[in-house]
Amino acid sequence: MKLVAWKFMASSFLAALLCLPTLRADDSYQRRTAAPGTLNYVEGQASIADQSLDNKSVGSVTLQNGEVMETGNGKAEILLTPGVYLRLGADSSVKMVSNSLTNTQLALNKGKAMLEVDQLYSQNNIHVTQPGADARVLKTGLYDFDANNGEVRVFDGKAIVNANDRNVTVKKGHELAVNSEKLKAVGFNKKEVTDNDLYRWSSLRSQYLSEANVDTARIYYANGWYGPGWWGPGWYWNPWFAGFTFVPGGGFFYNPFGWGFYSPLFVTRAPVVIVRGPHHFDGTRPVAIGQGFKNHAVTSFRGSGIRGGMSASRPAAPHASGFSGTHSVPVHR
């Protein structure tokens, strides 16, 4: 009985999600551009010079060259190149040095910031400096910067950090104390450093952006291909989520937090995650499609049907360019 009920719930939800009325892209999803430095979310106290930032500032305020964004008891998320987010922690300050798409540079003056890099082109040149060090991002991944304690940490990805006229390569699972005499990257225990407010907040923001991606990508799928208003991979404004999300040009990928981001064509073929607990689906809002964490209980889908029951299997590899065969979908309890 439980398996039958689960099959009915999952298949009904998938059908409902994909059959929602399709809005025209030019009705509510009007094209809005986002340049490096565009404010995408703010919570609590944040400002640029004498201008206080609030929800009305999202999507309309951009940190220009030479300007400084500061937070008090608050946090902020700004967009950089398409697919790259900088999240500023509380009591922090960041300056936009260069907002060029091919030369994007920021200076973290104090506090903490996290950089989520979901898409990186060979033409991109992204630098984050802090007192005593300059870090250049080389790969997609998740990066943590602490100006107060002089630390650069790489959860996933790869960066070259220049400190004291020396270049140090910092790979996945390693951190560098920029004020150390040895200047050597060392490993760290992820469980010990992820239990902090900025990491948890960044992870939650990542989930919301994934949900917004699913909703947005669906809008631009029409007649078996990309519909009106589509202009390729990049930032797309979603009025229901009151912010920009990233939509890839083809296929899908899992970001460093494990959430799926889908192209318009691919979103119609993707599996569905039914999230329980704090984000329980109650029939009024869609949930993210395809979270990439491993070692979760999953249900396997083939096409629009369900195959088998609950099992423990590894989901699709991150940053895959396609999806075929049996799709493993984590189900959160």
Residue 25: pLDDT over 90: no
Q: Looking at residue 221, what is its pLDDT?
A: 79
Checking if the pLDDT of 56 tops 50, the result is yes
**CA-to-CA distance for 145 and 175, rounded, in angstroms?**
10
pLDDT at 269: 64
Per DSSP, the three-state class of 300 is: strand
| Separation between Cα atoms, residue 309 and residue 304, nearest integer Å | 15
Strand partners, 117: 84, 141
Q: Looking at per-residue confidence, does 291 or 166 come out higher?
A: 166
Helix (H, G, I), strand (E, B) or coil at 98: strand
Section 44-51 average pLDDT: 94
Span 258-270, average pLDDT: 80
pLDDT confidence bin for 312, thresholds 50/70/90:
very low
* Other CB atoms within 10 A of residue 262 CB: 27
| Residue 271 binned pLDDT confidence (cut-offs 50, 70, 90) | low
- Give the integer Cα–Cα distance in Å for 56 and 221: 29
Asked if the model's pLDDT at residue 294 lies above 70, the reply is no
225 pLDDT band (50/70/90 cuts)?
confident
Rounded CA separation 14/213 (Å):
16
List, in order of start, the domains of the chain with CATH numbers: 2-24+203-330 (no CATH), 38-195 (2.60.120.1440)
- In terms of phi and psi (left: phi > 0; alpha: psi -120 to 50; beta: otherwise), the region of 308 is left
Residue-level pLDDT at 252:
85
Residues 170 and 38: their CA atoms lie apart, in Å, by 28
Query: Using an 8 Å Cβ cutoff, are 281 and 166 in contact?
Result: no
Backbone angles phi, psi at 297, to 5 degrees: -65, 135
What pLDDT is stored for residue 266 in this prediction?
Answer: 81
Which of 110, 122, 40, 35 is closest to 71 using CA atoms?
A: 110
- Region at 4 (left for phi over 0; alpha for psi -120 to 50; beta for the rest): alpha
* DSSP 8-state code for residue 57: G
Q: With contact defined as beta carbons under 8 Å apart, do 92 and 110 qualify?
A: yes
In sequence order, what DSSP letters do the residues of 125-144 get, joined into one string? -EEEEETTEEEEE-SSEEEE
DSSP string, 248-263: -SSSEEE-TTSBEEE-
Task: Say how far apart CA 233 and CA 64 lie, in whole Å.
Answer: 24
Percent of the residues in the chain that have a pLDDT greater than 70, as a whole number: 70
| Least confident range of 20-24, 25-29, 207-211, 260-264 | 20-24
For 13, the enclosing helix (H) or strand (E) is: helix 2-18
Mean pLDDT of the chain: 77
pLDDT at 32: 75
What is the pTM for the complete model shown? 0.76
**285 or 87: which leads in pLDDT:** 87
pLDDT higher than 70, residue 279: no
pLDDT of residue 226: 75
| pLDDT at position 243 over 70 | yes
Beta-carbon contacts of 69 under 8 Å, excluding residues fewer than 6 positions away, are: 46, 47, 48, 53, 63, 76, 78, 88, 93, 94, 95, 96
Q: pLDDT value at position 223?
A: 58
Rounded-to-integer distance, Cα 168 and Cα 161, Å: 5
Instruction: Write down the pLDDT at residue 289.
Output: 46
For residue 233 the two structure tokens come to 């991979």
